[in-house]
C-alpha cells in the first residue's frame, strides 16, 4: 500500500478563502484571514477599572502567547480606565492589541470617551445587545461611525444567548410560510447566520470597509457550532472567529473546545480562536491560551513551543521520576519561550522526548531532537540521552532533571538563532 501525497501531508483541507483584516497597535500587526496563520486570543476576567490588575493579567496572557486580548468595557469607569491600561502596558513593553467588548451602552461609551475609542485596536459588537426597536439601528450606526472615524476593525459577534429578538421573530415568520417548515434548531441556526451577515452588510453601508469586519456566531454546543460555522463559511468571505460561548470548566471545557474547533479547523474554517474556559477558583487565566495553542500545534497548523513527548506510564514505571521530569521540562520550555522566540527563531519546532522505561524509551527518544529514556521499575538506574537520534551520554545520580535541562538549553543555543549561525560560519 502506498499513501498519497495528500495523506502524507498535514491532512487538513485547504483553508477557506477569506478577506484579510489587520489589527494593529504601534508596529505590531496581527492579520486575520487571507491565508494568515490562525490567531489565538483571550479575554481578561479582572474588573477593568482595576488598571494595574488588568494590565498585569493582560501581560500574563500576552506572555503566554495570546496575540489579541479582549477586555470588558461596560461602564464609564471602565471606558476611562482603558487608556490608562494601555499606558501601563506600554511601560511594561507589552504591545498586544486590545479589543473592547461592548454590550448595551457601547455607542455612549465610545462617543463619550474618545481616548478609549482610540486606545482600543478593535471593537467587538454584539448585534443582539445594541438596542431595542428604533434605537437599535441608530445605536449600531453610532458605533460603526466611530469605528470608521478611528479606522478600527470590528468583530460582529452574534451569540446564541443574546440573539436579536426582532430578527428571530422575522425568521420564524418566514419559516412558518414555508411549505415544509424547518425544525426549531434549523431556524435558530438561520437566525444566527442571517444576523451576522446582515449586520456586516449594514456596517459596510455605513462606510466600514469590508476588510475591517470579522464575524462570529458563537453557541455552547459542539454539534451546533460545527453546523452553524459550516453554513456561515459558505455564505460570506469575512474572517471568522471560532469558539464556544461557554466551554465549561476543566477537562469538560477543554474537550468540548477541542472537539468543536478541531473539526472546523480541519475543514479549513476559522481564522482566529478563543477557548472560553471557566477557570478553577483562583485558577490561572492563561490556561485558555495554552489550550488554544496546543489545539493548533497538535493539529500541525502552527508551532508555538517545543513539543514534549512523554509516555503515559504503566506497571513498568511505578516511579514518578519520569512524570516529574516531563512536567518540569515542559514548564521550563514554556517559561523560556517569550525570550527564546526572539533570540532563537525556529526553536518552537524542537521535539523533546521524556520516556519512562526501556520498552519504547530508546526508540521514541531517537525520533526526537533530544530524548531521555529513564529507568523503569527494576531497571539499571541509568538514563541514556539521545541527541538527533544518536546516543550522546548516560545520566546517573540525583540530579538527572537538572542535567537534562542543561543539555536541552545547550542544544537550543547551538542549534537555533545567532549561536547556530555562528556555529555554521565557523
pTM of structure: 0.93
Question: Cα–Cα distance between 143 and 48 in angstroms, integer?
Answer: 20
The DSSP code sequence of 192-252 is: HHHHHHHHHHHHHHTT--GGGEEEEEE-S-HHHHHHHHHHHHHH--S-BEE--S--EEHHH
Query: 10 or 49, which is more confident?
Result: 49
- Is the pLDDT assigned to residue 179 strictly greater than 80? yes
Contacts of 392 by beta carbon, 8 Å cutoff, 6+ apart: 385, 386
For the stretch 257-297, pLDDT in tens is: 999 999 999 999 999 999 999 998 888 999 999 999 999 99
Q: State residue 426's pLDDT score.
A: 35
DSSP E strands in 283-382: the ranges are 307-310, 351-355, 370-373
Dist. CA 195–CA 340, nearest whole Å: 43
Mean pLDDT of the chain: 93
Give the burial string for 393-410 (b: 16+ CB within 10 Å, else e).
eebeeeebbebbbebbee
For 342-368, what is each residue's pLDDT tens digit? 999 999 999 999 998 888 889 889 999
Checking if the pLDDT of 75 tops 60, the result is yes
Asked if pLDDT for residue 411 goes beyond 60, the answer is yes
pLDDT digits (tens, 9 = 90+) for 197-254: 999 999 999 999 999 999 999 999 999 999 999 999 999 999 999 999 989 999 999 9
Task: Tell me what pLDDT residue 185 has.
Answer: 96
pLDDT value of residue 425? 33
Residue 421: the pLDDT is 47
Amino acid at each position: 500500500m502506498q499513501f498519497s501525497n495528500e495523506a502524507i501531508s498535514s491532512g487538513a483541507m485547504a483553508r477557506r478563502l477569506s478577506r484579510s483584516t489587520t489589527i494593529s497597535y504601534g508596529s505590531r500587526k496581527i492579520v486575520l484571514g487571507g491565508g494568515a496563520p490562525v490567531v489565538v486570543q483571550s479575554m481578561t476576567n479582572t474588573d477593568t477599572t482595576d488598571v494595574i490588575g488588568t494590565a498585569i493579567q493582560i501581560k500574563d496572557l500576552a506572555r503566554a502567547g495570546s496575540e489579541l486580548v479582549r477586555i470588558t468595557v461596560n461602564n464609564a469607569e471602565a471606558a476611562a480606565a482603558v487608556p490608562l491600561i494601555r499606558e501601563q502596558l506600554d511601560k511594561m513593553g507589552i504591545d498586544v492589541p486590545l479589543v473592547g467588548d461592548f454590550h448595551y451602552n457601547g455607542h455612549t461609551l465610545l462617543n463619550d470617551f474618545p481616548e478609549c475609542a482610540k486606545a482600543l485596536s478593535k471593537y467587538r459588537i454584539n448585534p443582539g445587545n445594541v438596542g431595542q426597536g428604533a434605537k437599535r439601528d441608530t445605536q449600531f450606526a453610532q458605533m460603526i461611525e466611530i469605528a470608521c472615524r478611528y479606522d478600527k476593525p470590528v468583530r460582529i459577534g452574534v451569540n446564541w444567548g443574546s440573539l436579536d429578538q426582532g430578527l428571530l421573530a422575522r425568521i420564524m415568520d418566514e419559516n412558518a410560510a414555508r411549505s415544509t417548515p424547518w425544525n426549531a434548531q434549523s431556524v435558530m441556526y438561520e437566525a444566527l447566520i442571517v444576523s451576522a451577515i446582515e449586520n456586516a452588510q449594514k456596517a459596510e453601508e455605513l462606510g466600514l470597509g469590508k476588510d475591517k469586519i470579522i464575524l462570529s456566531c458563537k453557541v455552547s454546543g459542539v454539534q451546533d457550532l460545527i453546523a452553524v460555522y459550516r453554513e456561515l463559511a459558505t455564505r460570506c468571505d469575512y474572517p471568522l472567529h471560532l469558539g464556544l460561548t461557554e466551554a465549561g470548566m476543566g477537562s469538560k471545557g477543554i474537550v468540548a473546545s477541542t472537539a468543536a474547533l478541531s473539526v472546523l479547523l480541519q475543514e479549513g474554517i476559522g481564522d482566529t480562536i478563543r477557548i472560553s474556559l471557566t477557570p478553577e477558583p483562583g485558577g490561572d487565566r492563561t490556561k485558555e491560551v495554552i489550550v488554544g495553542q496546543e489545539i493548533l500545534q497538535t493539529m500541525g497548523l502552527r508551532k508555538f513551543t517545543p513539543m514534549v513527548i512523554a509516555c503515559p506510564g504503566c506497571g513498568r514505571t511505578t516511579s514518578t521520576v519520569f512524570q516529574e521530569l516531563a512536567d518540569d521540562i515542559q514548564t521550563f520550555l514554556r517559561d523560556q519561550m517569550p525570550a527564546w522566540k526572539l533570540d532563537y527563531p525556529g526553536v518552537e519546532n524542537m521535539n523533546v522526548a521524556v520516556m519512562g522505561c526501556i520498552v519504547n524509551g530508546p526508540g521514541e527518544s531517537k525520533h526526537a531532537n533530544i530524548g531521555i529514556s529513564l529507568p523503569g521499575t527494576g531497571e539499571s538506574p541509568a538514563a541514556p540521552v539521545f541527541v538527533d537520534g544518536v546516543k550522546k551520554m548516560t545520566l546517573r545520580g540525583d540530579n538527572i532533571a537538572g542535567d537534562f535541562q542543561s543539555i536541552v538549553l545547550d542544544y537550543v543555543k547551538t542549534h537555533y538563532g545567532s549561536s547556530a549561525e555562528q556555529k555554521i560560519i565557523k
